[in-house]
Structures are given as structure tokens and as C-alpha cells.
Amino acid sequence: MLVCTKMKKNYIYKAFGLIFNSDFKIPELLIGSGNPDVNIELGKTPNQLQKITKKGVKYEATKNEFLLQVDHIAKYYVRDGEKIIIQLLKDKVDKEVRLFLLGSVFGSLFLQRGLLPVHGSSIKFKNSATIFTGLSGVGKSTIAAHFIKLSYRALADDISVVNQHLEVVPGFPGLKIWSDVLDKLEINNQNLNEIRPNIKKFHVPINEQYYSEPVPLKNIVILNTKNSTGFEIEELIGIKKFNAIKNNTYRYRFVQGLEKQLAHFQILNKLLPAIKVYKVSRPQAPLSLNEFGNFLLSNIDLNA
């Protein structure tokens, strides 16, 4: 009897120090090789999880599972830090499906694996990495893009993952930048892709200025705005230092749902003595990126 099996095509990528085996193309990621750590499949996700430990508006978590729904786009199911199942709510995989995969879904995957995802962008200065973190809209990607323009190399945008060796592992070679910031950086957006229709935030590829090896983490800079002129810097120590990183952990509420508080606490405890954490405040507006970049370079030992 002749059995005809259709060969399932798959794609191997390397991102955040992990090998991904995917059912579909993820052009944002770099091609990789080797045994996969994580499988990404199109399929049917559970409708809901059992024994939920944390619930959000659009997600549910248990000790080892995570389920996220993005209306009209997809449902994403992440299990044991090894498997991602995507159930499409639209006709095909496109940049919108991938946007949420590379964001919240990857965030939950990293937490399941006991990694530390920090909400921010990371730049390799001389032999070490610095993560710029802080609230949304504070200018994390903007300052990263500024340093990239000055010929420094980037490791990650939006989610910077710290591994057990206290290194920042490279994510993928792209930034997401809003239209007004592109203007400020004098980058023409004509040939850039919007992250989604009707949102004036663009994918900016940074191929040559992406650094693809892990780099020891040296500094975390918590960006902040203030309503007075001039810049201010404070080195955080003790409980303030601990809380600053905890609060800027990507999707910290997932940590509780995935019952990863202990793993999270342990990696923070290991990390904190090895790095410096600064709170840097800059005026709300107007902001001169050159002045701000120079302030950071001259007040923090970035090039250590």
C-alpha cells in the first residue's frame, strides 16, 4: 500500500538564546540550526485552562501553561516553556499574528523557562550590556535607537532577556519605533513596515548593528520623566534596587500566575550584586537625544 504523506515544512530560528522550530516563517528572527528548544505550531488551543492561578483580561495562567487571546488575530497557548500552539482567528499568519507572538507570548515562554525578561531595550557598549527600562512611552527604544545611530550595537528591543549566566541574550535584529521618533532620528519611514495597519509604529531592521552573542549585563537604567528641566541620576541600592527590577520585569503579573516567584527571586538575588541599577530622570519635553545620550555616557560607566 502506498502511503502518501505530505512533508511538513518547518523553519528553524535562533532568538533569545533558544532554538525555535516553527510551522511557519518568522522573518523577524534569524535563521538558526540545531535541536529545537521550543516548537511553534499552528493548531487548536484549549478554550480555557484548568486550575487557573492568575487571570487577566485576555490571558489565563496555570503553573505551567499560559493562554492569551488577541481578538480577531489569534489564540496563543504556551506550555512547559517548550511548546507554543497558535490558533488563528484570521485567515493566515501575518505580521499581526507574529507581533503578539514575539511580545507577550514570548514573555510568558521566558518566564516558564526561569529566565528574566526585562521590559526594555539593550545595547552592547564595550564588553558589557546595559538595559534601558521604564514605563511605556518613556523612551526605551528611542534611546536605544540613538545609541545605534552612534554605531553601538543592539541586543534586543522591548524584551531583554537575562539568562542564568547573568548575560543579556540577543533577541532579534529589529526595533519598533514610532513615527515621531523616526522623524527625530531623521529616518525616512517610506520603506518601513507598520507593525499593524493604522498604528504609526514601524519595524526598523538593524541587521548590521545587531550583536548576536550573549553579553554580560552590567547596568540597568530605569528611565523616568520629570516636569522640570535638566537630567537627574540616582544609583539604586538595597530594596529600591530589587523593587526596580521586579517592577520592570516584563509582564510581572504572569510571574505570579506561572508560580515563578521563587525562580524570579533567585535570579534577581544572583543578578543584583553583579550589576548597577540607576534611576535616570529626564524632562518630559522637549528632549535633545544628543544631550541625553551624552549625559548617560558621562554619568554611567557604560563602556566598562
Partner 1 sequence: MPRKNIIWLASYPKSGNTWFRVFLTNLLYETDNPANINDLAETSISSSRKVFDDYTGLSSSDLTFEEIDKLRPDVYRIQSEESNELLFKKAHDKFYWVDKNQPLFPPEITKGAIYFIRNPLDVLVSFAYHSAKPVYKMISSINDSNYAFCDKNDKLQNQLRQILGSWSDHAVSWINQDLIPIHIMRYEDMVNNTFNTFKQVVQFIGLEKSDKQIKIAIAKSSFSVLSEQEKRDGFREKMIRTKSFFRKGQIGDWKNHLNEQEVKKIVYNNKEIMLKFRYLDSNYKPIF
Binding site for partner 1 (CB under 8 A): 55-59, 68, 70-71, 99-100, 103-104, 135-138, 158, 178-181, 195-196, 198-201, 225-229, 251-254, 283-285
Output 71 or 208, the one with its CB closest to partner 1: 71
How many CA atoms does the CB half-sphere of 265 hold within 13 Å?
Answer: 6
Closest contact distance (angstroms) between CB of 127 and partner 1 is 31
Output 191 or 198, the one with its CB closest to partner 1: 198
Residue 26 one-letter amino acid? I
C-alpha 127/C-alpha 113 separation (Å) is: 26
Given a contact cutoff of 8 angstroms between Cβ atoms, the answer to whether 92 and 73 are in contact is: no
C-alpha 120/C-alpha 154 separation (Å) is: 12
Q: At what angle do helices 289-299 and 140-149 cross, to 10 degrees?
A: 80
Closest contact distance (angstroms) between CB of 33 and partner 1 is 30
CA dihedral sign, ordered 124, 217, 176, 182: negative
Closest contact distance (angstroms) between CB of 11 and partner 1 is 23
Closest contact distance (angstroms) between CB of 57 and partner 1 is 4
Q: What are phi and psi of 79, to 5 degrees?
A: -135, 135
Closest contact distance (angstroms) between CB of 290 and partner 1 is 19
Q: Residue 131: beta bridge partners?
A: 122, 220
Closest contact distance (angstroms) between CB of 241 and partner 1 is 20
Q: Please report, in angstroms and rounded to a whole number, the separation of the first and last CA atoms in the chain.
A: 67
